């Protein structure tokens, strides 16, 4: 029997539970601090849970969320349940270990994507905590000092996709060093900077057993599967003005290297580290590490590198993405993508605040300009990381069509409803 504190009250698990999937919407008067479009409201259903990352919701309403650990201790995941029918997650269990970002449910198992591996735990109907020992699905992936977080996306046909970020900003000889040239060709690309596909039902695989389906990506832990392909939203390059002041101003760094969304069809190459997508110009430009000056396209115009399906402002820092296949929200939102941006340090003099963005889609193509869907996670402007009161890190759609959002600063989870 597990106790934990929520909004100052201790809750105790009971043998019979009222699933969050069946709970009637009961939004907070202040929407849990969030600002939402007209007709929507939110309930803060848990807090003080740790550094929350990605989230998934089981058909019965149980919630599973990954926990990041920067020290190597702790981490793992939480299972959360509403036992009272008020929608709030009053019971929790812990399982697994190690810094965990990606989490997903497939074929009776909950999968955790850690910095260097993917593991799974067996789910038993009626039980919140997985049973049995951890099973290693993929091991031995290198966990570099930066860009090591991993997301996971299932295609529903027996495979899953996972991002592997590069230990580099732009593949310089000396990373993030003024004047250091880019390595050409970049030796990181065979093992980093892309998406790999694995068999979800096969244990003890290594990265070499996976299918390297997409390359030319920087940090793309926001990953999901939709319409026959994985989609990623990528964190673009940093420090244009610091490393190349002869070509780029602070304003250029703050506003030009777009965060980009890609459809990852097999064989796609999106041009990292040679190119960056310019939000102002809406085209690929040659990175200065490879001879660019903020104007040249060079090989970025002729090498067949893929273009984004959508682009977002610089340094918004995408963390998670999910397509909306529910029916609760109005038709405008159906088939579109919700993206959690947690904001970046690399924007002076203030950092980017976090937000949940909605990107309309029609089939496999963006069908309109992105919209700020949920804000209020922190107050603008944000001078530095210590000033954040909330940073969205995970998004998931529940069985009733509600949208769940996690936060990595205060360990919060919100559930967003449409009430009309």
Domains of the chain: 3-418 (2.120.10.30)
Per-residue confidence (pLDDT) for residue 6, from 0 to 100: 33
Is 126 buried (19+), middle (13-18) or exposed (0-12) by CB count in 10 A? exposed
Which one, of 412, 308, 416, lies nearest residue 359 by Cα?
A: 308
As a whole number of angstroms, the distance between CA 169 and CA 239 comes to 9
Query: 372-410 burial by CB neighbour count: b if 16+ within 10 A, else e?
Result: ebbbbbbeeebeeeeebbbbbbbbbbbebbbbbbbbbbb
Q: What is the DSSP letter of 304?
A: -
Inter-residue contact 231 to 321 (CB < 8 Å): yes
Neighbours of 48 (CB within 10 A): 11
CB 370 within 8 A of CB 357: yes
pLDDT in tens, the chain (420 residues): 333 333 322 233 333 344 545 555 689 999 999 999 999 999 999 999 999 999 999 999 999 999 999 776 789 999 999 999 999 999 999 999 999 999 999 999 999 999 999 999 999 999 999 998 999 999 998 766 789 999 999 999 999 999 999 999 999 999 999 989 999 999 999 999 999 999 999 999 999 999 999 999 999 999 999 999 999 999 999 999 999 999 999 999 999 999 999 999 999 999 999 999 999 999 999 999 999 999 999 999 999 999 999 999 999 999 999 999 999 999 999 999 999 999 988 888 888 889 999 999 998 999 999 999 999 998 777 777 777 788 999 999 999 999 999 999 999 999 999 998
Structure tokens at 1: 């029997």
Rounded Cα gap, residues 13 and 124, in angstroms = 17
* Alpha carbon distances (Å) from 291 to 179, 238, 273, 288, 414: 11, 17, 12, 5, 45
pLDDT value, residue 349: 84
Q: Which strand (E) or helix (H) includes residue 120?
A: strand 118-122
Residue 247, both tokens: 């070509």
Please give the backbone phi and psi of residue 29, each rounded to the nearest 5 degrees, phi first: -60, -35
- Considering the entire predicted model, what is its pTM? 0.93
Q: Which two tokens stand for residue 390?
A: 């909330």
Tokens of 277: 């997508």
């Amino acid at each position: 029997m597990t106790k934990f504190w929520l909004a100052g009250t201790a809750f105790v698990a009971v043998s019979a539970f009222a699933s969050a999937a069946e709970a009637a919407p009961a939004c907070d008067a202040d929407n849990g601090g969030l600002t939402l479009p007209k007709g929507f409201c939110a309930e803060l259903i848990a807090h003080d849970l740790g550094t929350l990352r990605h989230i998934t919701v089981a058909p019965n309403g149980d919630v599973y969320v990954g926990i990041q650990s920067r020290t190597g201790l702790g981490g793992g995941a939480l299972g959360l349940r509403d036992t009272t029918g008020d929608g709030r997650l009053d019971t929790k269990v812990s399982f697994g270990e190690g810094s965990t970002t990606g989490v997903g449910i497939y074929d009776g198992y909950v999968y955790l994507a850690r910095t260097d591996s993917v593991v799974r735990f067996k789910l038993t109907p009626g039980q919140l905590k997985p049973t049995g020992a951890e099973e290693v699905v993929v091991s031995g992936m290198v966990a570099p000092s930066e860009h090591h977080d991993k997301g996971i996306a299932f295609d529903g046909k027996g495979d899953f996709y996972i991002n592997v970020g590069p230990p580099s900003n732009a593949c310089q000889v000396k990373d993030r060093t003024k004047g250091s040239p880019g390595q050409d060709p970049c030796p990181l690309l065979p093992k980093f900077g892309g998406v790999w596909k694995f068999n979800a039902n096969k244990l003890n695989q290594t990265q070499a057993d996976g299918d390297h389906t997409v390359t030319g990506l920087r940090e793309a832990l926001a990953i999901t599967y939709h319409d026959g392909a994985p989609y990623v939203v990528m964190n673009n390059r940093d420090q244009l003005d610091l490393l190349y002041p002869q070509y780029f101003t602070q304003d250029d760094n703050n506003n030009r290297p777009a965060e980009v969304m890609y459809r990852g069809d097999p064989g796609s190459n999106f041009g990292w580290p040679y190119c960056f997508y310019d939000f102002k110009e809406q085209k690929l430009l040659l990175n200065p590490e490879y001879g660019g000056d903020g104007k040249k396209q060079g090989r970025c115009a002729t090498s067949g590198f893929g273009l984004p399906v959508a682009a977002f402002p610089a340094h918004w820092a995408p963390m998670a993405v999910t397509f909306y296949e529910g029916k609760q929200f109005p038709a405008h939102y159906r088939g579109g993508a919700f993206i959690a941006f947690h904001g970046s340090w690399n924007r002076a003099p203030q950092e980017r605040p976090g937000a949940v963005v909605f990107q309309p889609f029609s089939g496999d193509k963006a069908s309109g300009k992105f919209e700020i869907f949920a804000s209020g996670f922190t107050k603008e402007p944000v001078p530095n990381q210590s000033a954040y009161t909330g940073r969205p890190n995970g998004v998931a759609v529940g069985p009733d069509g509600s949208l769940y959002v996690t936060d990595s600063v205060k360990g919060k989870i919100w559930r967003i409803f449409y009430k009309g």
